[in-house]
Amino acid sequence: MPDPGEGLDVGDVVTAEVGAVAHGGHCVARHEGQVLFVRHALPGEEVRAAVTEVGGGGRFVRADAVEVLVPSPDRVVAPCPWAGPGLCGGCDWQHATLEAQRTLKAQVVAEQLRRIGGLTEEQVGALVTGCEPVPGDREGLRWRTRVELAVTAGDDGRVPGLRVHRSHHVLPVDDCLIAADGVVATGVLGRPVPAGVVGLDVVAPGTGSPVVVPLGRPDGHGPGGRRARRRGRGRRPAPVPLGPVPTVTERVDGHDFTLSARGFWQVHPGAAATFSDQVLAWLDPQPGERALDLYAGVGLFAVPLAERVGVSGTVVAVEADAEAATSAGRHLAPYPWARAVAAPAERALADVAAAGERADVVVLDPPRTGAGPQVVASVAGLGPRAVVYVACDPAALARDVAAAREVGLELVGLRVLDAFPMPHHVECLALLRPATS
């Protein structure tokens, strides 16, 4: 029991009326002026919430709903036995119907666009019409084609597992219900791993056999060690492959993309084609146009753009990761009017602007941190007639939408896609055009 008048502390359990959903897979509740971010709850419920963490110097706490006193009509029994308070950190919404999960995701996007993006209620209402399923999962399960497993460190036989929410603790699991069939078919779940293996990257590509990449601790030398130090800055270093990493091939709309098994590719089997089709539909690239694909990966969007603009057009695909940029260059080789540039978007944009080049259409598909106001301003400076922003974080998108408005680009189209059913993540595809007045 918390002391009256004192702030809540870890381990305190309080009764809370659960309010609206918030970005991050939790709902907001209040207790004596303190904000609680409650996981495993749903809006409208009354729960017993156990405090797991105190944040913001006591301004808010994180908590888990450990008992539901008044359930929401949207509540279901989580299909996965490892989803729940203190258990796997992978899924946030297993206790909600899929329909409710999508409603919550649309509400989060709307709230971010209002609060951070500065859009009016009316604009948000017109743009956010719901969150759509992406074809290729089974009722929100069996979709994740890329899974990074950790390994238990204790005396329990060193088996693969998944991390507990906001913890380094590894929970051994012998199935993951959102993992694609191909991932499970590798048989690695539940099977002990050899000494020195601290993780496994498991990939079930769209073509060919699934791949398992054993990971170990970086020795601090060589390219793996450097990359690991960068990725793990401030935390324990990220694991690195223990041997050569195989390639995998993904197919989208008749195009093959071959990439490192550890390279970036959309994890939902229907996502790449859904996004690519929408990007092309919105940009409607014309023969002779100049297209810029920023954060291009291995060329998912650059290749069909190259096809559309044809020999009289140009495509520049910008990708910071050298290995991915090399793959993009290979995929663009049949289109000599298209090229891949291995550089950060910020630097490539400065070079493009310095050369006095312009762009008719632009794709932005940044990592979770978003493109940022500087990149958005540089893009606007190229005078595009249409920009499609592919966003995996609605807060970063909202910030960049606000920045875009400052430089004359307006958000005119939005699709909210459930490319990550069960976790709280959501993908947004946004169309920006020059303001007409």
Ligand X SMILES: C[S@@+](CC[C@H](N)C(=O)[O-])C[C@H]1O[C@@H](n2cnc3c(N)ncnc32)[C@H](O)[C@@H]1O
Q: Cite the active site residues.
A: 392
**For residues 269 and 366, which CB has a smaller minimum distance to ligand X in the complex?**
366
Residue linked to tokens 């790449």: 272
CB of 285 to ligand X, least distance (A): 16
Specify the residue for token string 């502390």: 9
d(CA 34, CA 51): 12
Work out which of 71, 84, 225, 344 binds ligand X, going by CB under 6 A: 344
Buried b (16+ CB within 10 A) or exposed e, 382-399: bebebbbbbbbbbbbbbb
What is the 8-class DSSP label of residue 126?
A: H
Among 86, 264, 326, 407, binds ligand X (CB under 6 A): 264
Smallest gap from Cβ 152 to ligand X, in A, equals: 30
Interface with ligand X includes 109 (CB under 6 A)? no
Q: Which is nearer to ligand X, 45 or 321 (CB)?
A: 321
| Residues 319-338, interacting with ligand X (CB under 6 A) | 319-321, 324
427 scored as a contact of ligand X (CB under 6 A): no
Least separation in angstroms between residue 206's CB and ligand X is 13
Residue 215 or 390 with smaller CB distance to ligand X: 390
How many chain residues interact with ligand X (CB under 6 A)? 18
Q: Which of 152, 154, 217, 155 is nearest to 189 (CA)?
A: 152
Contact 391, 430 (CB under 8 A): yes
Applying CB under 6 A, the span of 219-227, 283-291, 296-304, 396-404 interacting with ligand X comes to 296-304
Nearer to ligand X, 12 or 201 (CB): 201
Stretch that binds ligand X, among 8-16, 209-217, 318-326, 427-435 (CB under 6 A): 318-326
Q: How far is the CB of 111 from ligand X (least distance, A)?
A: 23
Which residue in 193, 236, 230, 231 sits closest to 215, CA to CA?
Answer: 193
For ligand X, the closer CB: 208 or 367: 367
Q: Pick from 51, 106, 261, 318: which binds ligand X (CB under 6 A)?
A: 318
- Cα(102)–Cα(107) distance, rounded to whole angstroms? 9
Question: Smallest gap, in angstroms, from Cβ of residue 336 to ligand X?
Answer: 22
We find the least distance from the C-beta atom of residue 333 to ligand X, in angstroms, to be 18
296 touching ligand X, by CB under 6 A: yes
Residue nearest to ligand X (CB): 297
Residue 204 or 324 having the CB closest to ligand X: 324
Q: Which is nearer to ligand X, 199 or 297 (CB)?
A: 297
Is the separation of the CB atoms in 212 and 201 below 8 Å?
yes
**400 makes contact with ligand X (CB under 6 A):** no
CA distance 48 to 385: 52
| Nearest-angstrom CA–CA distance, 280 and 230 | 34
β-partners of residue 294 are: 318, 364
Query: Which of the residues 358 through 377 are near ligand X (CB under 6 A)?
Result: 365-367
Is residue 385 within 8 Å of 359, Cβ to Cβ? no
Q: Using the rule CB under 6 A, give the single segment among 213-221, 279-287, 295-303, 352-360 that binds ligand X.
A: 295-303
Q: Is 282 in the site for ligand X (CB under 6 A)?
A: no
Asked if 250 and 146 count as a contact pair (C-beta separation under 8 A), the reply is: no
Alpha-helical regions (H) of 59-151: 98-115, 121-127
The residue within the footprint of ligand X, chosen from 188, 300, 362, 380 (CB under 6 A), is: 300
**Residue 291 one-letter amino acid:** A
Does position 393 interact with ligand X (CB under 6 A)? The reply is no
Contact predicate 361/283, CB 8 Å: yes
Nearest Cα to 154, choosing from 202, 192, 200, 201? 192
- How many alpha carbons lie under 13 Å from residue 386 in its C-beta half-sphere? 18
Interface residue list for ligand X (CB under 6 A): 264-266, 295-297, 300-301, 318-321, 324, 344-345, 365-367
